[in-house]
Amino acid sequence: MRKSVILSLYRPLDIRLMVATGIVERIAEAADIILLVPKVYLTELRQRVSGTVRVEALRFPTSKVRSDDLYVGFTGGWRGYLRDRLAAIAELTYGNRGGANESGVLVRAEYLRRANRPHMLAVWAIANLACRSRTLRRLLQQMWLWTCPFRPHADLYSETQPVLLVTASAGLGVDGMVMAEAAAQGCPTAVVVQSWDKTSTKGYPPVAPAHMLVWSDRTAEEAVAYLDMRPDQVHIVGAPVWDHYFRDPGIERAQFLREFDLAADTRSVVYVSIGYPAHHEGNLAITETLLDALTRGDLPAGTALLFRLHPVYFEFEAERRDLMRVFERYLPSDRWHVDIPSGGGNSYFLDDKDGQKLANIFRHSTICVQASSTQMIEAAIFDCMVIDVAFGRWHNKYFDLDISDLDLTHLRRVGSADAANRVNSRQDLVDTLADLVQREDDGRRDRRRALVAQELSVNRGDAAKAMADKLVELIHAG
């Protein structure tokens, strides 16, 4: 008799991870899948996955998809108030088996700096105590379960009797309530932590997972040290979302230049990653600085700039318009091009062709300019030199800091390989870029290889199969 599993995915990139890489279809060969997603994705996903996968609406509303309401019906009373405080505590809390977590230290310091109400000071104080006491961390998890009495999927659990819930975070946002419902139903949770920072920079699980699937040996160590996972609960499977980087042969350079409207005699393509909007001020500075330098002739002859917007910019309309106005100030040229991820919005995240385009960008670029992103790792896969921009402010719900002051665990981990060329000002960016284009070598090739070995320690090119196989194994054991 086939067993059942529930996959609850509410973030667009997590849906892309599990669907576009074929993981869902692989699992469906061995088990019955109930795929819970925000209602806005129902039509597309029902067309995309095979008929053996049952796609249902996630009944916990989420703010990650704009067509949904915010937790309507789930926020009232003392339980709601306490749940909000517990969620804030979890975001500031980490285990301490490996010593203090740099991310936690910085997040708590920034939270305290903004704390202007008694309840915020209480959250900060309890989080500090929880970082020192595993008993308190377990007590907070029990309190979280009490604040989440919701059973909106009770009929699905009764009908399908799942042996496992799979989420893509250890309790971020809606996942915390989804995991609490599963715990009340006696269903264990397996978390697929497919990110460079979720084991060190996204807080403590409000519900203890039974299993955690991670990228690498280093992220496995972080799961044990900071999230109180036992080593036998942590499974290293690799990074499925990057499998195509190792498998796709790509296109020829001449075709690549034509597709991006760049001059046929281009010697060096500089890929400029316009990263997450939290660094919007810095992104504007990078864009203006490099286009000015190209226009003035400060970059070596034959240099072309290829700009690409982070897909999340589609959720930040005002900031996206800011960027486009910068580009509009410069005359069109076959020495620079702006690439906008295909589709945008919700449909982009189900489009695996855009991933192939990004692979070709890395493959044919000499240098990648980025700011504290996973593209340091991705560029290293293709032996592409990296410039790490360390100027401009980083502003989100946790921080309002100069990006050079973001002393986070995952950034320390990646930075320890010393594979990137760090720049601290606009002029430093231009000078370093011109020098690297001229020399075509930064002497860091071995360091880039070491970074890839560190961050992708297993299953390069075969991580989707490895993840699916491990989940099937856990389902059969349930």
Question: What is the DSSP annotation of 147-194?
Answer: H----TTHHHHHHH--SEEEESSSSTTTHHHHHHHHHHTT--EEEE--
Q: Which two tokens stand for residue 383?
A: 């032996």
For residue 396, the one-letter residue type is: N
What does the pLDDT look like over 132-168, one tens digit per residue?
A: 999 999 999 999 999 999 899 999 999 999 999 999 9
Pick out the chain residues at pLDDT < 70.
Answer: 63-76, 342-351
Task: Give the single-character DSSP code of 207.
Answer: S
Helices (H) and strands (E) in the chain, counts: 21, 15
What is the C-alpha separation between 406 and 355, in angstroms, rounded?
Answer: 28
Task: Check the CA dihedral 272-275-279-284 and report its sign.
Answer: positive
* Bridging pattern class, strands 400-402 and 393-395: antiparallel
Residues with Cβ < 8 Å from 290, sequence gap 6 or more? 270, 272, 305, 369, 429, 430, 433
Q: Whats the size of the chain, residue-wise?
A: 478
Pairing of strands 189-192, 164-167: parallel
Q: Which domains does the chain have, with CATH numbers?
A: 4-74+138-239+461-477 (3.40.50.2000), 244-455 (3.40.50.2000)
Dump the DSSP string for 355-400.
HHHHHHHHHH-SEEEESSSTHHHHHHHTT-EEEEE--SEEESSS-E
Q: How far apart are CA 62 and CA 297, in angstroms?
A: 48
Dihedrals phi, psi of 37, to nearest 5 degrees: -140, 160
Residues 8 and 169 sit within 8 Å (Cβ to Cβ): no
**b/e burial code for range 424-460 (CB count within 10 A of at least 16 → b):** eebebbbebbeebbeeeebebeebbebbbebbbbebb
C-alpha dist (Å) from residue 104 to 21, 27, 200, 226, 349: 32, 35, 8, 10, 30
Coil, strand or helix at 346: helix
- Among 194, 193, 195, 225, residue whose Cα is nearest residue 209: 193
Determine the residue type at 175: D
Q: Which residues have a Cβ under 8 Å from the Cβ of 437 and sit 6 or more positions away?
A: 267, 268, 270, 299, 300, 303, 366, 367
CA distances from 286 to 267, 378, 422 (A): 21, 20, 14
Cβ proximity of 53 and 46 under 8 Å: no
Stated as kind and residue range, the H or E segment containing 338 is: strand 336-339
